Amino acid sequence: MKSAATTTAVVWWPLSSKGLRILDLGSGSGRDAYTLAALVGESGSVVGVDMTDEQLEIANRHLDYHAEAFGYKASNVEFKKAISKSWMNWGWKITASI
């Protein structure tokens, strides 16, 4: 019997996510960014970067909804339009990226 091909993913995640500032490259409609926004807590933040106006528009539509749902005073997420390979030149202080 042939064995099935397997794929191994290596995932690193800090023991505590609170307070991290996370860069989400290719953030699309923002689902992952908003999940991360809950994980990092109100003291953390998420920057979502995408090159597509339509995706950014959808993602930005839900900033207030999620801030309210998580009980935050203000959204800890922002979305920016950019091509992701240029992010290293932006000079942001980032603690993790996906």
Ligand X SMILES: C[S@@+](CC[C@H](N)C(=O)[O-])C[C@H]1O[C@@H](n2cnc3c(N)ncnc32)[C@H](O)[C@@H]1O
Positions in the binding site for ligand X (CB under 6 A): 26-32, 49-52, 55, 83-85
- Give dist(CA 45, CA 78) in Å, integer: 8
- Cβ proximity to ligand X: between 1 and 84 the closer is 84
Q: Smallest gap, in angstroms, from Cβ of residue 51 to ligand X?
A: 4
- Give dist(CA 61, CA 3) in Å, integer: 46
Q: Smallest gap, in angstroms, from Cβ of residue 2 to ligand X?
A: 32
- Cβ proximity to ligand X: between 53 and 71 the closer is 53
Q: Smallest gap, in angstroms, from Cβ of residue 71 to ligand X?
A: 22
- Cβ proximity to ligand X: between 30 and 44 the closer is 30
- Going by C-beta distance under 8 Å and a sequence separation of 6 or more, which residues neighbour residue 74? 67
Strand order in the sheet with 96-97: 77-81, 45-50, 21-25, 96-97
